[in-house]
Structure 1
Amino acid sequence: MARAPRPNDASSDRPLSRRVAALGALWPFLRPYRGMAVLALIALVITAGVSLVLPLAVRRVVDEFGGATHLLDQYFAAALGIVALLALGTALRYYLVTRLGERVVADIRKAVHDRVIGLSPELHERLMTGEILSRITTDTTLILSVIGSSVSLALRNALIFAGGMTMLLVTSAKLTGLVLLIVPAAIVPVMLLGRRLRRLSRENQDWIAASSGAASETLLAAQTVQAFTAEGSVRRRFADLTERSFEAALARITVRAVMTAIVIFLVFAGVVGVLWVGARDVAADRMTIGQLVQFVIYAILVAGAAGALTEIWGEVQRAAGATERLVELLGLTDTVTDPPQPLPVPSLAASEIRFEGVTFRYPTRPDRNALERVDLTVRPGETVALVGPSGGGKTTVMQLLLRFRDPQEGRVTIGGVDLRQMSREALRRQIALVPQDPVIFADTARANILFGRPDATDAEVEAAARAAAAHDFLMRLPDGYDSFLGERGVMLSGGQKQRIAIARAILRDAPLLLLDEATSALDAESERAVQDAVESLSGTRTMIIIAHRLATVKRADRIIVLDQGRVVAEGTHETLVAEGGLYARLARLQFAEGMTATAAE
């Protein structure tokens, strides 16, 4: 099998981060918690200061202690107080920065989810669900690591490094000069290998996202995969993506390990050399033993801080890449937006819906019109059926009416007001939708129906379920309406899912009801019950129905025939059959049983 291609999504099209300044995009999420960050910084400064005081105490013990017990007691009592302060400051710092990290990451996750859930279908078509989930989970985990740990440790080690270097200079300018020669040697590999590490970190994250996307796609279609005995190819594809992710991670780990080894060797080799010079100075009485011990401790602190900063730098770079990926989602420009000052939505119970010269092309098929110069009027309280061959534009009409998309030419209006001048939320509050593929959430049957109107009573839920012919089968479930339906309603048949979706739409009690093949998965008896329910609603609200079944089409006030994006015929069932043409041909092909029954009558 061919190797998996490099992830080809939005994440792989953007330039790689050249600096950690990308983390600046986190500031809007940190700003509300400035007080917590300041307290954490204070605790951090205290603990770093205490760490820098300890070598001074050691020097005094070595140089001044001459066997006096009272001095011994004083020194160790002071040491105990310093340790207690260090423990308290460290615990406080840990609590504050960890809480800050968890709070900020929670806000980021909510912001990304809130942004993505409101995007138009066009953008969802370009982003795989697994890719989005990877950013919300894996990328935010990296940011949590940085905010809740790495940044804090980086600042602490930076303070220790700076303070330690200062105290080294105070202790021995000669030895400090030798130490300073080590610093460039440690910085050079960090600068040279850092850019490659950033690129490998981003590549690793992209492969993880691709692997997550593939897993999400195949797990959601597990039955189809098994039915076509495609488990082998699916497993190979996922294994290949996972291996590519591992290879990218291995390359990143290797570069980071090499960088760490080089830095640590250079730093500690330099320290050993400096100590050798210092030992010779002690032997020549140019330094005291206490000074040398103090210098050694500060040198160890500085070397440890430099090594820690090298480790942390890699984590910060990974988080910078993760931040870019998240900010990219937050900064997506949607093709469908609300106007700055939206107009009120006219009541759909008393307003006409009009398509005026509407032309629409899907971005993935820019050379083909899904709708072409369509003129269409739906009067309030009218039941209109849209019929025609697949790809004729029926679903596109509903997509434009829900303002999931906007036409390239013409306009869609309600009561004379263009949909683009309205708030999408206010518009959709007046619409109830039954999609062809019903969506069932991993919750109870009651919660799924209540999704249409969360404040409805149990009696209203039951009435909607009865109207949708769902009550009887729901009562046969183990816990009735409170039975858990499983992920995507796996415990239900296709017809049962559709009846719950219809009950949800009926409960919404909106003035416009959109039915997209709402009875396609129902048996004859259930279909009859649902059709009776739909018929009882006609006249009290406007209904637009996409249907292929004759029984539903015959009951519509008006039938619109769409073919290749154009309205080719319009009228009642009887008039369209009498005219011949596309509708009569479709009726003969798709509704032969219904036509026979009509002829018999």
Structure 2
Amino acid sequence: MSTSTTSTASTAGNPQTEARELKKGSLAALKGLAPFLKPYRNRFIVAGIALVVAAGSTLAIPYAFKQMIDLGFGTHAGISSARNVNMVFLALFAVATILALATAARFYSVSWLGERVTADIRSAVYAHVVQQSPEFFETTQTGEVLSRITTDTTLIQSVVGTSISMALRNVLLFLGGLGMLFVTSVKLSSIIIGLLVLTVLPIVMFGRRVRKLSRDSQDRIADASAMAGEILNAMPTVQAFTHENMESKRFGASIEGAFVTAMRRIQARAFLTALAIVLVFGTIVFVLWLGAHAVLEGTMTGGDLGQFILYASIVAGAIGALSEVMGEAQRAAGATERLLELLSVKSEIQNPQHALALPPRAANGAALSLQDVIFSYPSRPDTAALSQLSLDIKPGETVAVVGPSGAGKTTLFQLLLRFYDPQLGTIRLDGVDIKQLDLHTLRDAIGIVPQDTVIFSADAMENIRYGRADATDQEVIAAARMAAAHEFIERLPNGYRSFLGERGVRLSGGQRQRIAIARALLKNPPLLLLDEATSALDAESERLVQGALEVAMEGRTTLIIAHRLATVQRADRIIVMEDGKIVETGTHQSLVALGGIYANLAALQFHNVQVTH
């Protein structure tokens, strides 16, 4: 997904955002880095002092050469010429030493700043992204986010750690050199300034095209990165459908598009550099020709002309360097805009300003109440996922939620966790509207075993401990025993310290599910949500886990989503959903006798069930 698409999806209708979008690529975007630079002002001061000393040392060199020429070789040179030359060269060595020390100090300071600020930006962007609601990830690919955190921050690092310093250094050299040119010859300096003003205008105009191409180049790289991330996360599916070659060609075409865009940017920058050099140095050569005639006419000394040449070279070099730095700064401006876009996205799910506390935890779990809940997903606003849903669950009650796919079962769980807020209606946990609860307070009270188990790239011990970060090893092992996971973990090469592979590739589906169950049990919440918790288990594993879940459900409220009705028969109550509504409620026996949707589902799964019509 392109950046423009992402931005539109997440910020449409916001006038301030739309105004900001019109300024994309502007160097003013670099102002957004100010909050990250501010904590390190002392480092900037040190770098600034070193920068001034280094620039001053550089500007002193042409004056030393003037003295050497006029005192050592000019018309006034005499018996003291050798001594004068010796003193000048000693002074030059002293200046070079100061220049070396100041340059080293500047390099270290700005490099430290580049690394430090980049690390801070990456941390800030990542911390902001993980706070976003699922709505954000409906419209943004993870590859796009990763591209911004890595590629874009690397560009910013080059600017903060190198380009800013180079820009300031060359600004000082330009201003200092320009001042010394006027000290040397007002006439020649006035001519050279007038001509340089005329040369700068086409450079600035063409620079705008470079800025736009820089932004386009970053977008194409992000597109390729997003595509690669999506395909690499779905390799089993890609290989099962034998689409390896097709996906390689798609990625190759995307990379080729990024290459073509990058080459347009590089060609534009190359032309801009050539244009700047030809115009600037052509101006300087013309003025130096005038200076040479002034020496021949006796209105300037040879030392003055030599000094003027060196200062003119410094000024020209500074302008050339600034043009290159400007190109880097424009690329970084585009990168900064992309990162600021990401940081400006605000989740619709926010903590209340004055959060309420849950009442003391009851011994038998939490009470749950839904009243007239209406909800549609942001990506499907015209389709109601839940419609006028009302439900009351008592503390300690086990309620199963069944129904065909798309009935709204998983949506119900997402609303309970406040991944989304309903458009209408209220949800209360222990009598408190969940919108009035701190998000961490709410989610700490809920444990979930999702249908798609997530296993992190860590060992078994840490994967289970994800349920409660401060749990001891003994508590982790106890949770694993309850989830019937202890035996297979012990058989792993390193037991609980065995690395489970990226996304748990070293485990079977049933083993991954039992890790997830152990994680939820370790959390020990008053409300437990089981979303197809046993769907991936074989018959023997299901028997073991069902026993563990029955123990785990004691003393807490439990909601179970299951397509396999054998899982829910012993629930206190079964809720049957269809098209986002509750259409049937009762026990297994009463619902079978009712002869409705549940009875038909049961008839499909239990051939010996007699369905009453």
1:512-591 alignment runs, 5 A limit: 512-589=527-604, 591=605
Matched, 1:422 2:418: no
CA 1:553–1:6 in structure 2 vs 1: closer, same or farther (change >3 Å)?
A: closer
Q: Distance in 2 between matches of 1:41 and 1:197?
A: 29
Aligned position for 2:491: 476
What is the aligned partner in structure 2 of residue 203 from structure 1?
A: 216
SS at match of 1:9: helix
State the Cα distance separating 1:333 from its structure 2 match.
2.1
Distance 1:355 1:347 in 2: 21
Does the 8 Å contact 1:412/1:418 carry over to 2? Answer: yes
Tell me the residue number matched to 1:10: 6
Query: Does the 8 Å CA contact 1:382/1:538 hold for their aligned counterparts?
Result: no
Residues 374 and 424, structure 2, Cα contact 8 Å, conserved in 1 = yes
Amino acid at match of 1:108: I
For the pair 1:306 / 2:302, whether they are aligned, the reply is no
Match of 1:20 among 22, 27, 45: 27
Structure 2's unaligned 5+ residue stretches are 10-20
Q: C-alpha separation between the residues in 2 aligned to 1:348 and 1:263?
A: 73
Match of 1:97? 110
State the 1:329 CA deviation.
0.9
How far does the alpha carbon of each residue in 1:256-285 deviate from its partner, in whole angstroms, 9 at most, with x for none?
111110010111111111111111111111
1:41 counterpart (35, 40, 48): 48
User: What's 2:69 paired with?
Assistant: 62
Q: Does 1:249 align with 2:262?
A: yes
Q: Distance in 2 between matches of 1:15 and 1:485?
A: 48
Which aligned pairs between 1:118-517 and structure 2 lie closer than 5 A? 118-347=131-360, 349=362, 351-517=366-532
* Shift in Å, 1:351: 4.0
Contact kept in structure 1, 2:355 and 2:436, CA below 8 Å: yes
Residue range with higher mean Cα deviation, 219-228 or 535-544: 535-544
Superposed displacement of residue 178, structure 1: 2.1
Q: Check whether the contact 1:379–1:542 (CA below 8 A) recurs between aligned residues.
A: yes
Does structure 2 retain, via aligned residues, the 8 Å contact 1:560–1:567?
yes
Structure 2 match to 1:86:
99
User: Distance between the aligned counterparts of 1:579 and 1:239, measured in 2?
Assistant: 58
Q: Is the 8 A contact 2:367 2:557 kept in 1?
A: no
Q: Secondary structure at the match of 1:359?
A: strand
SS at 2:335 equivalent: helix
Match of 1:53 among 56, 60, 65: 60
Q: Give the AA of the match of 1:316.
A: A
Partner of 2:606: 592
SS in 1 for 2:369: strand
The separation in 2 between residues aligned to 1:526 and 1:452, in whole angstroms, is 21
What SS does structure 1 have at the residue aligned with 2:61?
Answer: helix
Residue 347 to residue 564, structure 1, CA distance change in 2 (3 Å): farther
Counterpart of 1:238, as a letter, is F
| Alpha carbons 2:356, 2:437 under 8 Å: kept | yes
Aligned partners of 2:131 and 2:347 also within 8 Å? no
SS at match of 2:568: helix
Tell me how far apart the structure 1 counterparts of residues 35 and 290 of structure 2 sit (CA, whole Å): 51
3-state SS in 1 of match to 2:474: helix
C-alpha contact 2:451 2:531 (8 A) present in aligned 1: yes
Amino acid at match of 2:226: G
How far off its partner does 1:56 sit?
A: 0.5
Q: Distance in 2 between matches of 1:505 and 1:45?
A: 60
Give, in angstroms, the shift of residue 189 of structure 1: 2.4
C-alpha displacement of 1:348: 5.7
Distance change (3 Å), C-alpha of 1:205 and 1:37: same
Aligned to 1:29: 36
How far 1:39 sits from its partner (Å)? Answer: 1.4
- Please tell me whether the aligned partners of residues 386 and 559 of structure 1 are also in contact (alpha carbons under 8 angstroms): yes
Q: Tell whether the 8 Å contact from 1:43 to 1:90 is kept in structure 2 after alignment.
A: yes
Alpha-carbon distance change, 409 to 383 in structure 1, aligned in 2, over 3 angstroms? same
| Identity among equivalent pairs (%) | 53
Cα distance in 2 for residues equivalent to 1:118 and 1:138: 22
Is the 1:562–1:568 contact (alpha carbons within 8 Å) kept by the matching residues of 2? yes
Distance 1:170 1:32 in 2: 40
Q: Does 1:77 align with 2:106?
A: no
Give, in angstroms, the shift of residue 12 of structure 1.
7.3
Determine helix, strand or coil for the equivalent of 2:404. Answer: coil
CA deviation string 1:448-491 (max 9, x = no partner) = 01111122121211111121121121122111111111111111
CA contact (8 A) 2:25 2:333 kept: no
- Secondary structure of 2:57's match? helix
Structure 1 outlier segments of 4+, above 3 Å:
5-8, 11-16, 66-70, 346-351
The aligned amino acid for 1:264 is I
- Quote the Cα distance in structure 1 between the aligned partners of 2:439 and 2:361: 14
Deviation at 1:7, TM superposition (A): 6.2
Q: Aligned AA for 1:106?
A: A
Check conservation: 2:427, 2:434, Cα contact below 8 A.
yes
Deviation of residue 9 (structure 1)?
A: 2.4
Distance 1:168 1:152 in 2: 24
Per-residue CA shift, 1:270-323, capped at 9, x if unaligned?
111111111111111111111111000000000000000000111111111111
Question: What is the alpha-carbon distance in structure 1 between the residues aligned to residue 134 and residue 191 of structure 2?
Answer: 63
TM-score of the two chains, using structure 2 as the length reference:
0.94
